[in-house]
């Protein structure tokens, strides 16, 4: 389907066409050359390839404005927020901690020079995980004095990273995917699981069910990672390189190179379906989800913000006000799970909206053999204030 969009910029109004399905472009910002983005509230932080941190006021997505810039040595290649601060990976092999409190006067709080290239970073609490020529665990609890507390040197140019303790997952291009055990931050070690794939591994993401999403030059691959078990669940042939991935509920959002934003339904990994897309024509390399918006950037695609409200995640539905929570245990489960919540009769829906079972709760749901593995939604009959609860049957 063809749509024509008129976008207001600081330059004269531009008129251009774009292929799209179920996604709307809310706004763009072009005076930049970003390789990474992070968004906090009404502020966006850009890792600019021209060598710096750029801060944007995104209060109005249709009229994004620059509010600050700090030039740094080398290209800025990766970015993550650390509380009130920003961690920036730079091509001069340095991780910098920046204070953006006053956008017009951004301050460098601390620096950590590395003996290997730094391409990407990922932050949890006061810890930054950096990768590139090696994998580093960095304590930034004192921003003025970041300290490298652990190193895993056997990394081969990792361009993607996702951390979900006790593991870190590294996308290592033509070397595949490396999984590093970080349960002891001082001594990160290989978890003895390594995928040597024929395709370049560009990106990686882990969802709340511990499923591994691997983006390659040709496809999105899904694996399950539970303890010592790794199992391939399914794959989806992509129209271009899958350069970044975000997963929210039953949807995966992909920065798919020149093929733009692609949205796929992953509720059944063995039968993945594309449900939305937006093609700009320029390569998109990084994505940040801030529901109901998705932010995608690229060196020539610049900054783009999309409306993804049609793809409401399970997590968002569970945030409805006045809700009485439904709980399930275990989740994920194999043969049966206990469902607790407001007393009554509950319906079990598949992601297509079809009722597959009904039970009395509190109670035990034991799906029959005719019900395949996948994500299901539990909803109590006659209660509008109780949101559906997602359960994963393996």
The pTM of this model reads 0.78
Q: What angle do CA 335, 341, 346 make, to 5 degrees?
A: 65
Integer Cα distance of 148 and 130 in angstroms:
10
Q: Tell me: the pLDDT tens digits for 272-294?
A: 999 899 998 899 999 999 988 99
Cross-strand bridge partners of residue 110: 97
Q: How confident is the model at residue 14 (pLDDT cuts 50, 70, 90)?
A: very low
Look at residue 15 and tell me whether its pLDDT is greater than 60. no
Number of C-beta neighbours around residue 231 at 10 A: 12
Q: Tell me: the pLDDT tens digits for 159-185?
A: 899 999 999 999 988 788 889 999 999
> What distance lies between CA 143 and its chain's CA centroid?
25
Integer Cα distance of 228 and 158 in angstroms:
23
User: Average pLDDT, stretch 29-46?
Assistant: 95
Q: Tell me: the pLDDT tens digits for 220-232?
A: 999 987 766 678 8
What pLDDT does residue 385 have? 52
Q: Tell me: the pLDDT tens digits for 313-368?
A: 655 555 544 445 677 878 788 888 888 877 788 888 887 778 899 888 888 898 98
User: Domain segments of the chain: what residues?
Assistant: 17-315, 319-393
Fold designation for 319-393: Immunoglobulin-like (2.60.40)
Region of 322 please: left (phi>0), alpha (psi -120 to 50) or beta: left
Domain 17-315 has CATH 2.130.10.10: yes
CB 38 within 8 A of CB 86: yes
Cross-strand bridge partners of residue 178: 170, 194
Q: What angle do CA 333, 337, 339 make, to 5 degrees?
A: 135
CA distances from 321 to 41, 295, 314, 325, 336 (A): 21, 26, 14, 11, 29
């Amino acid at each position: 389907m063809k749509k024509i969009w008129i976008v207001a910029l600081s330059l004269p109004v531009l008129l251009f066409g774009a292929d799209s399905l179920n996604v709307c472009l809310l706004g763009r910002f072009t005076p930049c050359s970003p390789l990474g983005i992070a968004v906090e509230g009404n502020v966006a932080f850009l890792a600019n390839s021209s060598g710096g941190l750029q801060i944007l006021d995104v209060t109005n997505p249709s009229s994004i404005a620059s509010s600050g810039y700090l030039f740094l040595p080398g290209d800025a290649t990766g970015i993550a927020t650390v509380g009130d601060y920003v961690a920036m990976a730079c091509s001069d092999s340095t991780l910098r901690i920046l204070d953006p409190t006053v956008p017009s006067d951004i301050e460098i709080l601390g620096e950590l020079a590395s003996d290997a290239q730094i391409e990407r970073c990922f932050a949890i609490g006061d810890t930054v995980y950096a990768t590139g020529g090696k994998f580093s665990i960095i304590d930034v609890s004192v921003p003025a004095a970041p300290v490298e507390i652990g190193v895993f040197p056997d990394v081969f140019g990792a361009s993607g990273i996702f951390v979900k303790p006790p593991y870190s997952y590294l996308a290592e291009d033509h070397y595949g995917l490396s999984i590093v055990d970080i349960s002891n931050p001082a001594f990160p070690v290989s978890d003895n699981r390594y995928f040597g794939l024929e395709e370049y591994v560009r990106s990686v993401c882990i969802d709340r069910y511990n499923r591994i999403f691997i983006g390659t030059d040709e496809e999105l691959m899904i694996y399950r990672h539970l303890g010592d078990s790794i199992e391939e669940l399914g794959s989806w042939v992509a129209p271009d390189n899958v350069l970044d991935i975000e997963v929210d509920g039953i949807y995966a959002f992909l920065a798919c190179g020149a093929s733009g934003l692609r949205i796929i339904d992953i509720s059944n990994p063995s039968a993945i379906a594309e449900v939305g897309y937006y093609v700009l024509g320029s390569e998109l390399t990084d994505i940040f989800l801030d529901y109901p918006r998705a932010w995608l950037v690229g060196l020539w695609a610049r900054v783009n913000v999309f409306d993804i409200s049609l793809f409401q995640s399970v997590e968002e539905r569970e945030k409805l006000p006045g809700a009485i929570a439904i709980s399930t245990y275990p989740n994920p489960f194999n043969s049966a799970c206990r469902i607790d919540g407001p007393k009554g009769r509950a319906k079990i829906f598949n992601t297509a909206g079809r009722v597959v079972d009904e039970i009395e709760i509190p109670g035990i749901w034991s799906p029959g053999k005719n019900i395949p593995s996948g994500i299901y939604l539990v909803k109590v009959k006659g209660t509008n204030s109780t949101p559906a609860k997602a359960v994963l049957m393996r």
